[in-house]
Amino acid sequence: MHHNPISIENLSYVYPDGIQALKEIDLQIKATEKVALVGANGSGKSTLLLHLNGLLMPQQGEIVVGEMSIVPRNLTAIRNFVGLVFQNPDDQLFMPTVWEDVAFGPMNQGLRGKALEIRVAESLVAVGLDVDKYRNRQSQNLSGGEKKRVAIAGVLAMQPQVLVFDEPSAQLDPRSRRQLIQLLLTLSETQLIATHDLDLVLELCDRTIVLSEGKIVYNGETRQVLCDREFLLAHALEMPLSLY
């Protein structure tokens, strides 16, 4: 188990159009920690997430994931170590059936036969989906909450040590959202959760990082920052309803 599965030093990133998305980000995430990443649209959250498994490469600074620098030769290993769950499950589900979607990653890792069957079944069970009921379902015919679970199962099937979520509760109805929170509470992997859903943050994450215009403006205890209405408003965030 790596002590700091994610370590970022002095990371900056400028898009080709000259927009600076990240400015000198320093960040360490410890094993099994659940950390929230919050900030208004355009604060740099998605840009940061895309660096964590090498979809974007650092222009300045260094990212070390599971003791591996993010450089081209490490990308396969890094993508096995960091599982990224996109905001829209339709970006992640592209095989005809649920079973094929969940099996896709481990098959790429070389799993076959019984080992593959077991891995897919365990991943579906982990997200609370009955294997027999769901294996032959068409991914596109599932509800939003079910799609989200299948997308998470597909990432879990690759056995990453870090799970990175982009807006996990987006587009979910209240019941599916509640089930998702319960699910994320049960997963033991290190989690970094980028979200606008500050009530979810309050329930799940002990530590919160606030990004504003590409800089970290807060990195500390969740409740402390979410109770600070003035600070949140200054960074275009709303206090969670449950704290009013």
Domain range annotation of the chain: 6-243
Q: What pLDDT, on the 0 to 100 scale, is given for residue 241?
A: 87
Residue 122 tokens, joined: 């365990």
Find the mean pLDDT for residues 42-66.
Answer: 95
Do residues 48 and 23 lie in contact, with contact meaning Cβ atoms separated by under 8 Å? no
Task: Answer whether residue 4 shows pLDDT above 90.
Answer: no
- Nearest one of 59, 139, 65 to 102, comparing CA atoms: 139
Q: Is 60 exceeded by the pLDDT of residue 2?
A: no
Cβ-contact 194, 45 below 8 angstroms:
yes
Percent of the residues in the chain that have a pLDDT greater than 90, as a whole number: 95
Give the per-residue pLDDT at 224.
97
Residue type, 93: L
What DSSP string runs through 16-50? TTS-EEEEEEEEEE-TT-EEEEE--TTSSHHHHHH
Question: What are residue 3's phi and psi, to 5 degrees?
Answer: -65, -50
Mean predicted confidence (pLDDT) in 207-223: 97
pLDDT digits (tens, 9 = 90+) for 134-178: 999 999 899 999 999 999 999 999 999 999 999 999 989 999 999
Cα–Cα distance for residue pair 40/24, rounded to 1 Å: 18
Q: What is the DSSP string of the chain?
A: --S-SEEEEEEEEE-TTS-EEEEEEEEEE-TT-EEEEE--TTSSHHHHHHHHTTSS--SEEEEEETTEESSGGGHHHHHHHEEEE-SSGGGT--SSBHHHHHHHHHHHTT--HHHHHHHHHHHHHHTT--HHHHTTSBGGGS-HHHHHHHHHHHHHTT--SEEEEESTTTT--HHHHHHHHHHHHH--SEEEEE-S-HHHHHHH-SEEEEEETTEEEEEEEHHHHHT-HHHHHHTT----GGG-
Check whether domain 6-243 has CATH 3.40.50.300, yes or no:
yes
Query: How big is the CA angle at 48 (ends 46 and 54), to the nearest 5 degrees?
Result: 105
pLDDT of residue 120 exceeding 90, the answer is yes
Q: What is the band of 244 on the pLDDT scale with cuts at 50, 70, 90?
A: confident
Chain centroid offset of residue 17 CA: 27
The predicted model scores a pTM of 0.94
Q: What per-residue confidence (pLDDT) applies to 1? A: 54
What mean pLDDT is reported for the chain? Answer: 95
